[in-house]
Amino acid sequence: MRTGGRFRWRWLGAALLALLPFLPAAEGGGVPLATLADEAPPIVARAAPEAAGAAADRGASARPGALDGFVVVPTERFVVRAEPELAEYASRLAAEAERGFDILQRTLGDAPGPPVELRVVSNPRELAAVAPPEAPPPEWASGVTYAEHDLIVLSLTSPRNGRFIPLFAVLRHELAHLVVDRLTGGRAIPRWFDEGIALWAAGDDYAGRQEELVNAALRDRLLPLEAIERGYPRDPEQVPLAYAQSLDLVSYLVENHGRAALRQALREVGEGKPFRQAFLDSFGTTIGRLEEQWRRDLRVWYRWIPALVSGTTLWALISFLLAWAYLRQRRRRQALYAEWDRQEAAAERAAEAAQWPDPDPKPWGGIRLPPAQGHASGKPGAGKGPVVYHDGRFHTLH
């Protein structure tokens, strides 16, 4: 059975994410390349094998003149081409590509191959110009991987609203597609499996994906895996749910079967084994049973959410927390007062023990002149001779 730890942490992450708009903005200029987006993460894609194959003879080409004037930053495994105004980010992007590729290989497996070309533009409308002409990117995508051409095209802004996107996060996602393609030798795998691995391996932590999943589970509107077997829904409104399901399914597989099983499945597909057989051999279950178990666990987990988030429950919880905080503070205050009383009583006892029957006592004995007025109860009186204080009493010398 699946554990609830991942869900608890994701709900905590969602609550913390909700507080981000109220936090002060970070200082410093420049484009926030590695920060959280202020919206749902940009949707990324990979070119369908048949679409990429149509342009295979032309290589990683682009529209005539589309790459003129681009700055070029080569590294050991990458060549970054960026618009002139993005020159200051080209080197940072190249370094992040090298680092991200190493992390992905440690996660999924070694994926050697020729250098990868990264083409970066600031406007998503320019993606089509720098992509292979016969395989244009979807209008809703901020990045596309053309694995057969060892090419990744990226936009610095979102096609939905023109806002800046977390470019490094998008890059890691696209690099994950590239690594998966190399591990499988370009053989076909289900779209949900491919996208789920890319999201999981890239460390996608957007809490909104969990919200999409919760809403669909509660309304019984989860997409069947058949709907995302070969491609994502044509309806853009359903694409975020498809991504959320893909990520959760792969996370579910890794939690219940381990990372080694995932690496084995990719390796066996790369060796030529049909995907369904490789899936069965690696995870010990069929895709149909996986989907059934996953949906059942979702229903068990999420059926309590309506009660937990209802107004009555929330007010009851708030009232309980306030009462608990009040009683706890009251106990602490009472304990503090009791400690003060003990300290005061101890000080009084110490003061009483230090008192003497005479304001100028002579505890060691001695002679002193009589005071101006007499004393009762065995104390020296006026006009009498010298007195001696001994054993707690005054004695007149005769």
CATH of the domain at 65: 3.30.2010.30
How many independent structural domains does the chain possess?
4
271/332 same-domain check: no
Phi–psi pair at 202, nearest 5 degrees? -80, -5
* Of 281 and 218, more confident: 281
168/68 same-domain check: yes
| Sheet of 367-368, strand order | 367-368, 387-390, 393-396
Residue 209 pLDDT class (50, 70, 90 cuts): confident
226/254 same-domain check: yes
252/209 same-domain check: yes
The listed range with the strongest mean pLDDT (59-68, 274-283, 308-317, 348-357) is 274-283
Last residue of a domain, one of 309, 328, 345: 309
Is pLDDT of 277 > 90? Answer: yes
305/373 same-domain check: no
Last residue of a domain, one of 309, 325, 347: 309
Domain membership of residue 83 (yes or no) is yes
Last residue of a domain, one of 145, 168, 183: 183
245/320 same-domain check: no
Q: pTM of the entire structure?
A: 0.63
pLDDT in tens, 188-206: 999 999 999 999 998 887 7
The secondary structure of the chain, three-state, reads CCCCHHHHHHHHHHHHHHHHHHCCCCCCCCCCCCCCCCCCCCCEEECCHHHHHHCHHHCCCCCCCCCCCCEEEECCCEEEEECHHHHHHHHHHHHHHHHHHHHHHHHHCCCCCCCEEEEEECCHHHHHHHCCCCCCCCCCCCEEEEHHHCEEEEECECCCCCCECCHHHHHHHHHHHHHHHHHCCCCCCCHHHHHHHHHHHCCCCCHHHHHHHHHHHHCCCCCCHHHHCCCCCCCHHHHHHHHHHHHHHHHHHHHHHCHHHHHHHHHHHHCCCCHHHHHHHHHCCCHHHHHHHHHHHHHHHHCCHHHHCCHHHHHHHHHHHHHHHHHHHHHHHHHHHHHHHHHHHHHHHHHHHCCCCCCCCCCCCCEECCCCCCCCCCCCCCCCCCEEEECCEEEECC
> Which of 216, 221, 222 is CA-nearest to residue 305?
216
Rounded Cα–Cα distance for residues 104 and 350 (Å) = 73
178/236 same-domain check: no
* Of 220 and 190, more confident: 190
* Of 10 and 116, more confident: 116
Domain containing 334 equals 311-355
128/174 same-domain check: yes
* Of 3 and 343, more confident: 343
Is pLDDT of 304 > 70? Answer: no
